[in-house]
Amino acid sequence: MTLTIRHVVLSEITPAERAALVTRTAVPDRNIRAQAADIVDDVRNRGDQAVLALNERYGGGAGLGDCAATSN
């Protein structure tokens, strides 16, 4: 498999090309959508504790000392 990465200067492309770059389609897999909905619900209900637990489960985020959550 070959992966090609193209450098794009947004000010130099047409509006249609820009829209094609940023338009995303819905995830068709129902299982993925259900898991994502569960994550959002968990964060809404448990806030920071859910984020920390998800970080432990999936990884990739900062530890407790390196993050803060605020609400507007």
> Each residue of 49-67: pLDDT tens digit?
998 899 888 876 665 565 6
pLDDT of residue 47: 94
Q: How many angstroms separate the CA atoms of 60 and 50, rounded? A: 15
Q: Which residues of the chain have pLDDT under 50?
A: none
Would the pTM of this model clear 0.75, i.e. be above it?
no
What is the pLDDT of the chain when averaged over all its residues? Answer: 84
DSSP H stretches of helix in 1-72: 15-22, 30-46, 48-58
- Rounded CA-CA distance 69/61 in Å is 13
Collapse the DSSP code of 1 into the 3-class scheme (helix H, G, I; strand E, B; otherwise coil) and give the result.
coil
- Whether 50 and 42 have beta carbons less than 8 Å apart is answered as yes
* Size of the chain, expressed as the number of residues it contains: 72
- Output the six-digit token pair for 47: 């806030």
